[in-house]
Homo-oligomer: A and B are copies of this chain.
Amino acid sequence: MARQNPGSKKRVTSYDVARVAGVSQSAVSRAFRPGLSVSDKTRTKVMKAAKKLGYKPNAIARMLITQRSGMVAVIISSISNLVYPELLSRVTDQLSARGVRVLLFTLDHSDQLEELLEQVWTFQVDGVIALTAHFDHRDIAQFEEHNIPVVLYNRQVPDHPVNTVCVDHSQGIRQLIDLLVENGNKRFIVLSGPPDSDVANERRRIALEHLAEHGFADVPVLYGDFSYQSGKDCFAEWMQDHGAPDAVVCSNDTMAIGCIDQARGTHGIDVPEQMSVVGFDGMYAAFWTGYELTTVRQPVNQMAKAAVDILMERIENPDAPPEKRVLAGTLIRGKSARA
């Protein structure tokens, strides 16, 4: 194998540990993978023998024996969307707790996806969690061909069952809209994320539908890219030809913060007294007292755990059917919407 401790004479193998522990080699192999089932009694025997012999499982040897790499690919993009760092951190913690490492892939443009997937196959990861990325049914079919389970975060694939963990966008956005309507807002605009984003499209669709249910049809939509600057730019563009609306429904917190800064800084609008702005995500900066957004907080811890649970189950049992878990967000009654 590639490297050994310089001090070691002959490498201690899992077979040596098995002999001393009086268990099968397979039991040793399983005992060193926290995600796999092995009785506490067997694990104790194995660990005692391993310690005695100075055994350290070697990742390559383990890969050859278990046909597992002990790695999960995590695909992420839009690092400027500040909800993802927190999510990446939680997913990494959840996988670490199961003895699995994160192989990180960043995707700046969707046209890099094919090349990225080639790398995923090459590194023979045990599974994939896609925090951000647009997958179509052909992409998902490739995962099926390679027998690599995948879990998507906050997105689905039309007409194709796939493992996914979603925040309940519908429940969350309806609560935000209800709050705005109850407080007497009548003139709305929507600042949406980009039309090539599944998440943006879903959030916009739900907002417009629920506004229409309240009798507010044909609400104007402006399109940004989820970034702070695009929140500023969209609102500035609106103000060129219109007066301030009563309320701005933003597709995420980062755009909401941009909108608030533009409204306060350039147009002298008092948020929330003269205009309400709501976001979505509940990222760290949403709670800063300079903003204190009215928003919906994604249950990031629970969603990260659910994504990892679903994935580990599929790694253990590849025949398990695709599963969708939807977790409710929490309405945060902040200070960016008039109460």
Please give the residue numbers on chain A whose beta carbons come within 8 Å of chain B beta carbons, in ascending order: 1-3, 5-6, 56-60, 63-64, 67-71, 74, 79-80, 82, 84-86, 88-89, 92-93, 96, 101-106, 108, 118-119, 121-124, 145-148, 228, 232, 257-258, 260-262, 264-265, 284-285, 288-291
Residues of B within 8 A of A69 (CB): 2, 59-60
Contact assessment for A106 and B101 in the assembled complex, using a CB-CB cutoff below 8 Å? no
Query: In the bound complex, how far is the Cα of B124 from the Cα of A83, in angstroms?
Result: 31
Copies of this chain, how many? 2
Contact assessment for A124 and B60 in the assembled complex, using a CB-CB cutoff below 8 Å? yes
Give the nearest-CB partner of A124 in chain B.
B2
Given A124-B58, A146-B5, the answer on whether A103 and B106 have CB atoms closer than 8 Å is: no
Extra inter-chain contacts (10) besides given A60-B63, A84-B85, CB under 8 Å: A57-B122, A59-B123, A79-B86, A82-B82, A89-B106, A93-B108, A228-B284, A228-B288, A257-B290, A265-B289
| Minimum Cβ distance to chain B for residue A226 (Å) | 13
Query: In the bound complex, how far is the Cα of B121 from the Cα of A258, in angstroms?
Result: 44
Residues of B within 8 A of A86 (CB): 79-80
Contact assessment for A104 and B92 in the assembled complex, using a CB-CB cutoff below 8 Å? yes
Give the nearest-CB partner of A261 in chain B.
B289
Residues of B within 8 A of A261 (CB): 288-290
Give the nearest-CB partner of A287 in chain B.
B228
Residues of B within 8 A of A89 (CB): 79, 106
| Minimum Cβ distance to chain B for residue A53 (Å) | 16
25 CB < 8 A contacts A-B: A2-B69, A3-B67, A3-B124, A3-B146, A3-B148, A5-B145, A6-B145, A6-B147, A60-B60, A71-B123, A74-B104, A80-B86, A82-B82, A82-B284, A92-B104, A92-B105, A96-B106, A101-B103, A101-B123, A103-B104, A228-B284, A261-B288, A264-B290, A265-B289, A290-B291
Residues of B within 8 A of A101 (CB): 103-105, 119, 123
Those 7 A-B pairs whose CB atoms lie nearest each other, nearest first = A85-B85, A79-B89, A102-B104, A2-B67, A261-B289, A265-B289, A59-B123
Contact assessment for B106 and A93 in the assembled complex, using a CB-CB cutoff below 8 Å? yes
Contact assessment for B290 and A58 in the assembled complex, using a CB-CB cutoff below 8 Å? no
Q: Pick the contact of A3: B5, B58, B80, B147 (CB < 8 A).
A: B147
Contact assessment for A121 and B60 in the assembled complex, using a CB-CB cutoff below 8 Å? no
Query: In the bound complex, how far is the Cα of B2 from the Cα of A63, in angstroms?
Result: 7
Residues of B within 8 A of A64 (CB): 1-2, 60
Contact assessment for B290 and A122 in the assembled complex, using a CB-CB cutoff below 8 Å? no
Residues of B within 8 A of A258 (CB): 288
| Minimum Cβ distance to chain B for residue A131 (Å) | 12
Residues of B within 8 A of A288 (CB): 228, 257-258, 261
